[in-house]
Amino acid sequence: MQLSERRKTILCMAVEDYIRDCSPITSGGIKDRAKLECSTATLRNELNTLEAMGYLRQLHTSGGRIPTPQGYRFYVENLLEGVSATNSELEGVQKLISSRTNSLTDIVSGIAKIVSEATNYPTVVVMQSLDELVLTDFKIIPLLESKVMVLIGTVAGYINDTLDITATAEECQDASAYLTKNFKGETIATMIENIDQFEAGMQGEIKAFQKVVDTLIGGLKKLNNQRLIDVRREGSVKLLENGGDIEGAKKVLKILDDKEELESALELSGKGGIEVSVADDGNDCSVIKAPICFQGKQLASIGVIGPQRMDYAGIASALKVVIDELNKSKGG
């Protein structure tokens, strides 16, 4: 059954009031605040109808009503149709993500930190495969104690790693030039797939730094198979404040320590944009999530995790800022 505009207004007011101050909604409260041309008795009937439809539930006889998971879900779906970004919330986003000199992990971690501080809720980023990142350059630098530092330039920032290998400054310089010359503009997947062919045809050129190239490719394959997770807990205290749901907060804090649960919670449908899952009997936490994309390819997913009663509007707006700035600054 489709909701009338009046019922939509009442339901959204019920959700927003409960999110703000944990206050159940009553017909008298609606009459005082909403500009609806109807009687208190009519409003009471509308609340009864919304309860019968599964959007609200009554805590006790003659008491106010609070949203159900279905009510939250309806509110969120309608909210996301008109959510817009406001740069005033996240002043540091553009500066952070516009620089290609930053390491990729620092950029992603910085995005998570900004969102967590802006929303005051825990925020998680799950990195996807690096396969589709386009390479720009390589810098290989010898260090002390039989190690070399590798900076792999991509359109989204640098990937940095340290390899356990002994190499001279000349070998590192030659390896950097060789890899940049042959793979600039290619994806990481292309480089990994074709490195053997390049080595077979250019043994004379790369013989002196073969061990550097081989070790680098091995490390990159290993890194590519990992799903790196960054968890920002700046908003954890929020979960226990303002009459928060203690049991819901415990569930959120528990999932933050479970890598597999986090990966599952941040899985996206692939449709793009912001997605929301609402906590209910089969889902311990609510998650508002979105893809982090560079040049049209999903690099990671970012999600804000909380209990059923959370600020969906504010969080969705904050994530919208990040998505819009990423698209604008990185050509996503």
Give the pLDDT confidence score for residue 328 in this predicted structure. Answer: 66
Return the amino acid letter for 79.
Answer: L
Give the pLDDT confidence score for residue 292 in this predicted structure. Answer: 83
Residue 173 bridge partners (DSSP): none
Question: Does residue 66 contact residue 24 with C-beta atoms inside 8 Å?
Answer: yes
Residue 159 bridge partners (DSSP): 152
In 10 A of CB 258, how many CB atoms?
11
Which helix (H) or strand (E) segment holds residue 288: the answer is strand 286-294
Give the pLDDT confidence score for residue 204 in this predicted structure. Answer: 64
Question: Does residue 93 contact residue 111 with C-beta atoms inside 8 Å?
Answer: yes
Give the pLDDT confidence score for residue 332 in this predicted structure. Answer: 45
- For residue 210, which of 224, 221, 195 has the smallest C-alpha distance? 195
Q: Which two tokens stand for residue 221?
A: 């394959």
Q: What is the pTM assigned to this prediction?
A: 0.75
Phi-psi region of 53 (alpha: psi -120 to 50; beta: other; left: phi over 0): alpha
Give the pLDDT confidence score for residue 289 in this predicted structure. Answer: 92
- Residue 269 φ then ψ, to 5°: -75, -20
In 10 A of CB 52, how many CB atoms?
10
Give the pLDDT confidence score for residue 168 in this predicted structure. Answer: 85
Question: Does residue 51 contact residue 43 with C-beta atoms inside 8 Å?
Answer: no
Q: Which two tokens stand for residue 74?
A: 């309806």
Return the amino acid letter for 49.
Answer: T
Task: State which residues of the chain have pLDDT below 50.
Answer: 331-332
